[in-house]
Structure 1
Amino acid sequence: MKKLINQIDTVVTEQMEGLAACWPHLQVNYDPRFIWHPQHENAVALVSGGGSGHEPLHAGFIGTGMLTGACPGEVFTSPTPDQMIECARKVDNGAGVLFFIKNYTGDILNFETAVEMLHEEGINVGTVIIDDDVAVKDSLYTAGRRGVAGTLFVEKIVGAAALQGYNLEACETLGREVNNATRSFGVALAACTVPAAGKPSFELADNEIEFGVGIHGEPGIERRSLQDVDTLVDSVMAQLMDDTPWLRTLRHWDRHTGGWVETTSTNTQFDNHGEYIVLINGLGGTPESELYGVARAVTHAAQQRGINIVRHLVGNYCTSLDMAGFSVSLLKCTPTLLQLWDAPVNTPALRWGC
């Protein structure tokens, strides 16, 4: 293992110190760990979090027009309830706090604990669970689809809405709408190396890829032979555009009753009607030049299917340490979602219109 680190047990803290040094508008708390940015008065506070190793998700998206705070766990490990509680206390300005939770078992359990305790304190809190990965319905880490790079769509669009004055209930409803209209699919060419493990998390032969990989290296649909980029991307697009009906069941916090409610929804129909935003996301170890090669192939595959892509975003946004590979996320957007996507944003990892 070759890593630019000092000691394994100080990796996350030292990286937080570096982030704070580079972006003085961010405020950092080390015990418990969370990062935040002062929110506009009377705006809903938006808090996300998860295991470290996926940077810039989530701390890189704190700032005007996006997140208010983030709770980084250890590498590939959920943050703890005390991190979430202290972060929510710090950022709440009376308009309420909305948690974005990726659909992993540890994240769900810890965020749910935090939500219940904050409710007892009288803090108005809501939740949006993100499950955009269509590669699997279940994995060792989840009950249902995993939350992956499509998280960026939710954080950006709801971030713009909060800045425009949407209340907590409206932000929560919007977050679920974006999640339901988002699909992601990932491919790994080589595994990542977690510092605490000191070796790659899985092995692939020189001619193998993991088709449908998760952002922690979880398996997807199958291992298959490496193909040229056009053929590979066409297979990914086929997965993303598959409209086989699938019922999803997710829990959310009911602020009025102070309890958890299960809601079911079917997948949003993806077809050649409407407009799409596409995210070509690097997993950490893929050159940007190759990601643009993927973008070319995605654009061509979309044109062949009559799909109208109106916005592209290419780069490393939801990584898996040094994993070689990519993911593609599609958001079927309405005029309102597109307007919120285009709204100004100013964060360390995403900036436009400012």
Structure 2
Amino acid sequence: MKKIINQPENYVNEMLEGLYIAHPDLITYTNDDLRCLVTANKKEGKVGIATGGGSGHLPLFLGYVGKGMLDGCSVGDVFQSPSAEQMLAVTKAIDSGAGVLYIYGNYNGDIFNFDMAAEMADFEEDIPVESVVAGEDVASAGPTKEGEKNTRRGVAGIFFVYKCAGGAADAMLNLAEVKRVAEKAADNVRTMGVALTPCIVPRVGKPGFNIEEDEMEIGMGIHGETGIRRGKIEPADQIVDEMLEKIINDIPYVSGNEVAVLVNGLGATPLDEQYIVTRRINQYLKDKGIKVYRYYVGEYATSLEMAGFSISLLKLDEELKGYLDAPAQTPFFVQL
């Protein structure tokens, strides 16, 4: 294992110390707990937005706390959920009288602990809390039928939910309306990824799975969850076409629809390759008559040093475009 670390057990806290040192104008922490990260620019009367999840996915989740997006994030160990008590501490710190919206990925540990934190916030602190669970990975389960629970994993597309909900909250919409906007974004985003290499959890010290040098796995999750097929690595255009076909067939599109596109590196994919992917996405969508309103290219949700990428599409209307365009400033995302 080659990693630039000290003791593996100090990995998360030392990473957080560095973040606070680098971005004191945007983030701080509460409850004397480095893992209870909150905005340094609390806006009175605004709905607070909180997220949380395991470390190892920078800039997800904590990298989007700042101005115009999230207000707080509870931070777990690598690929592990934070505690309900940490989530509650963040909730108390960011509440300014308008209530708090939780937005988090569709993972059992996060769901259990956020539900518990929401109950404690209501009963013990009289803070109204609503939740939106993001699950948009088309490789992880089939489409959710009416009345059924969404079983898809939440992955990089949660960025769009953060951005739209953050814009709505910054516009001083009430809790019910901010939740509505977040749900609307979550319902209209789809993601699929491909992995080329495994990642190494520092405390474990060895790859979480094996994949041959000449192989790729379409649909693998950001924790190494099994994808939909493994095979020999193919040219970039073929990989993009296979992924986009599954994404756009999952939501009905007609010619003239507009989307925002997120090309996300998983931690070890050069930007050069991400822009080769972007080139093909543009060709493919143009051929389908689907208009691209905005591109976002870079690392938005990683898996330590995993090589690969994901594609997320957000189907837009005028309301979502407005919140997508709203200004935001966080340690890892700036839009003026």
* Residue deviations 1:54-92 (CA, integer Å, cap 9, x gap): 001121111111000011100000111011001101111
Where 1:190 maps in the other structure, the secondary structure is coil
- The 1:201–1:177 alpha-carbon spacing in structure 2 relative to 1, beyond 3 Å, is same
Identity of aligned residues (%): 42
Check whether the contact 1:32–1:86 (CA below 8 A) recurs between aligned residues. Answer: no
> How large is the RMSD of aligned CA atoms in angstroms?
1.4
Q: Which has the higher strand share?
A: 1
CA distance, structure 2, for counterparts of residue 105 and residue 280 of structure 1: 26
1:173 aligns with 180
In structure 2, what is the Cα distance between the partners aligned to 1:272 and 1:202?
41
Q: Deviations over 1:224-253 (max 9, x none)?
A: 22100011100010110113xxxxxxxxxx
The within-5 A match list for 1:41-120 is 41-120=44-123
Query: How many angstroms does 1:32 deviate by?
Result: 6.7
1:137 counterpart residue number: 141
2:111 partner letter:
I
Shift of 1:143: 6.8
Q: AA paired with 1:351?
A: V
Q: Which amino acid aligns with 2:100?
A: V
Structure 2 match to 1:257? none
> Following the alignment from structure 1 to structure 2, what is the Cα–Cα distance between the partners of residues 352 and 110?
32
Q: Secondary structure at the match of 2:230?
A: strand
1:192 to partner: Cα distance: 0.8
Residue 201 of structure 1 deviates from its aligned partner by 1.1
- Which runs of no fewer than 5 residues in structure 2 stay unpaired? 143-148
Structure 1 residue matching 2:261: 3-state secondary structure:
strand
Give CA deviations for 1:291-324 in whole Å, capped at 9, x if unaligned. Answer: 1111111111111222111100000010000000
- TM-score of the aligned structures, taking structure 1 as reference length: 0.90
Give the aligned partner of residue 145 of structure 2. Answer: none
1:2-35: CA deviations, max 9, x gaps? Answer: 1111111111111110000000121124537211
Aligned residues: 326
Equivalent residue for 2:261? 278
2:196 counterpart SS class? strand
Structure 1: tracts of 5 or more residues without a match: 244-267
**What displacement does 1:40 show?**
1.1
1:184 aligns with 2:191: yes
Q: What displacement does 1:117 show? A: 1.1
Q: Work out whether residues 58 and 301 of structure 2, in 8 Å CA contact, stay in contact via their aligned partners in 1.
A: yes
Counterpart residue number, 1:247: none
Q: Does 1:294 align with 2:296?
A: no
CA contact (8 A) 1:133 1:185 kept: yes
1:209 aligns with 2:221: no
Q: Give, in angstroms, the shift of residue 272 of structure 1.
A: 2.9
